[in-house]
Amino acid sequence: MKKGTLPYLAQAGMIAAIYAALTYLAMAFNLAYGSIQFRFSEALTILPVFTPAAVPGLAIGCLIGNLASPYPLDLIFGTAASLIAAILTRAVRKVRVKNIPVLAPLPPVLVNAVIVGLQITLFTPGEAASLMGFLIAAVQVGLGQLAVCYLLGLPLGIALEKSGAAKAIFPSAIEKRGK
């Protein structure tokens, strides 16, 4: 699928909309922002395995989701983290164990832990701008990401593949992989 084509733009737009909506749902439970977060939307970070349109879709969805963040710099840092993580997820999509993309959820965990952890440490009033403050924030963010990406995202990816939904939703991306 070529960038700029209607199916590419439609996929990216739908992914962005779903990501933003799920972020706002997490916000309703006070789980979307801060060092302890459990964004349901991060389960979608598995989608670059199936389509390149997920890369801009996730970044734009994060940007829209972060419009409600009490941390204004989330617009920059959170969006950058999502973009970098999506690019890296796309890069490791072919690394599989028993046909499961086991490394795909790892980039969002690591990238968000570092970037969001650093943002929280440096720019949140009252946070200790120290190595220990960063490590605490990074571990907290990373654990939330780990839970969502591996406990929700990886099963989502497996279900999409096994049910045939991935092929139906992202046909050109799946065909290129030889499935």
Q: What is the pLDDT of residue 164?
A: 83
> What is the secondary structure of 12-42 as a DSSP string?
HHHHHHHHHHHHHHHHHTT-SSSSS---GGG
pLDDT in tens, 98-138: 999 999 999 999 999 999 999 988 887 665 678 888 999 99
Cut 0.85: pTM above it: yes
Q: How confident is the model at residue 1 (pLDDT cuts 50, 70, 90)?
A: low
Instruction: Give me the numbers of helices (H) and strands (E) for the chain, helices first please.
Output: 8, 0
pLDDT in tens, 78-94: 999 999 999 999 999 99
Q: What is the pLDDT of residue 71?
A: 86
Average pLDDT score over residue span 163-179: 67
Q: What is the pLDDT of residue 44?
A: 98
pLDDT in tens, 7-45: 899 999 999 999 999 999 999 999 999 888 999 999 999
Percent of the chain with pLDDT over 90: 73
Quote the CA–CA distance of 41 and 87 in Å, as a whole number: 17
